[in-house]
Amino acid sequence: MSPSPFSSQFSSGDATADRRADYARMLGEGGDFAAAAELIEQALELTPGWAAGWFRLGEYRDKAGLGTAADAYRQTLVLRPDDVFGARLKLALIGAEQTPDRPPSRYVEGLFDDYADRFDTALVEKLGYCVPGKLAGLIMPHGPFRNTVDLGCGTGLFGAEIRGRTERLEGFDLSANMLAKAQVKGLYDHLCQSDLSLVSDDSGLFGDFPPHRADLVSAADVLMYLGSLETVFPLVLELLLPAGLFAFSVEDAGEGEGFVLRDSLRYTHSQAYIRMLLSRFGLDLLKVENTVIRMDAGKPVHGILFLSRKPG
């Protein structure tokens, strides 16, 4: 199961169009994607400015094997240039555009703003999500820590694992709703909304705090929403003290030298790609662990956990 961009936006504002869209959804769930596409087309005749409808039309056309899915995704972008639905990612998956280095920030932000209320229950209880605990297991022999910076902290699942071993805990996330959930848990000394695809001082990761302040930086189940990690490693180096640790996870792309966009609209990364980046940015690799990180649609999702150190 993946978060959906539609929970707060899949209404056209027209009752007739919404009824047709609902019938289309039922047809799609039954596997009749061509009929579902026809019904969404009828709904869009009534509400041509409905961006979510155009995106759903693209999905149905793609699943039906129709050659016009790209047209629907491009119309979505005309109506929503901020790409809150991830239409460019869909265009890349069907070969209509090159794979972007990262998803649109607005798409990721909206995805997790909508997902925040059910995130912990869905991910941990239903999907067997285990990255925070496993990543903490790699880290604990090297603690305790003075200051931990938790990148993409979400609702604080990793924060709960590390809180007892760090004097100070900072959390950064793109989603305000996820941060609100983390705030309620009372785990963090500092929480801030920030876009991890930025690497400048105005990214929100420094603020009034100095660089080179953390002896541990974590990124648990975050990097699959970034694609290229060329911007992440310089940011981590700016945050870390000498001899500080960087612990993180990726979804496993298998063999290859880079990253791959999957149907889930998440990116997978190869171990070779991560090793190359660690070497390029001067981080020493301490440990690698291949593991199942959660279930998705009843199948295991394979990931890789990394523990690295900045030279002292």
Nearest CA among 260, 256, 268 for reference residue 296? 268
299 and 251 in a single domain? The answer is yes
Does residue 201 register a pLDDT over 70? no
242 and 297 in a single domain? The answer is yes
Given pLDDT bands bounded at 50, 70 and 90, which one contains residue 125? low
State the pLDDT at residue 147: 97
162 and 80 in a single domain? The answer is no
Q: What is the pLDDT of residues 253-270, one digit of tens each?
A: 998 889 999 999 999 999
Give percent of the chain with pLDDT exceeding 70. 91
In a domain, 161, yes or no: yes
85 and 186 in a single domain? The answer is no
State the pLDDT at residue 197: 75
What's the predicted TM-score (pTM) here? 0.89
The Cα-based distances of 43 to 22, 85, 124, 294, 299 in angstroms read: 10, 19, 37, 37, 35
Mean pLDDT of the 183-193 span: 95
Does residue 124 register a pLDDT over 60? yes
State the pLDDT at residue 8: 43
161 and 299 in a single domain? The answer is yes
In a domain, 8, yes or no: no
48 and 188 in a single domain? The answer is no
197 and 121 in a single domain? The answer is yes
State the pLDDT at residue 229: 95
207 and 262 in a single domain? The answer is yes
- Who wins on pLDDT, 115 or 226? 226
Number of Cβ within 10 Å of residue 308's Cβ equals 25
Provide the number of structural domains found in the chain: 2
State the pLDDT at residue 247: 98
In a domain, 10, yes or no: no
Asked, as a colleague might, if the bond just before 144 is cis with ω within 30 of 0, I would say: yes
Q: What is the DSSP letter of 121?
A: I
| Own/partner long-range contacts of 97-100 (Cβ < 8 Å, ≥24 apart) | 99/227, 99/261, 100/227
Q: What is the pLDDT of residues 159-175, one digit of tens each?
A: 999 999 999 999 999 99
Domain around 126: 116-309
In a domain, 181, yes or no: yes
In a domain, 298, yes or no: yes
Mean pLDDT of the 14-32 span: 92
Does residue 7 register a pLDDT over 70? no
Average model confidence (pLDDT) for the chain? 90
State the pLDDT at residue 211: 86
Domain boundary among 63, 98, 133: 98
Given pLDDT bands bounded at 50, 70 and 90, which one contains residue 206? low
In a domain, 5, yes or no: no
80 and 129 in a single domain? The answer is no
93 and 220 in a single domain? The answer is no
Domain boundary among 65, 98, 131: 98
State the pLDDT at residue 6: 45
Nearest CA among 275, 272, 16, 309 for reference residue 145? 309
64 and 126 in a single domain? The answer is no
Mean pLDDT of the 234-241 span: 94
Does residue 46 register a pLDDT over 90? yes
CA dist 236 and 228 (Å) reads 14
Given pLDDT bands bounded at 50, 70 and 90, which one contains residue 296? confident
273 and 205 in a single domain? The answer is yes
Does residue 30 register a pLDDT over 50? yes
CA dist 181 and 29 (Å) reads 32
Mean pLDDT of the 242-247 span: 98
Domain boundary among 98, 128, 161: 98
CATH of the domain at 249: 3.40.50.150
CATH of the domain at 58: 1.25.40.10
Mean pLDDT of the 24-53 span: 95
Strands (E), 137-274: 145-151, 166-173, 190-193, 214-219, 240-251, 259-261, 267-269
In a domain, 144, yes or no: yes
In a domain, 200, yes or no: yes
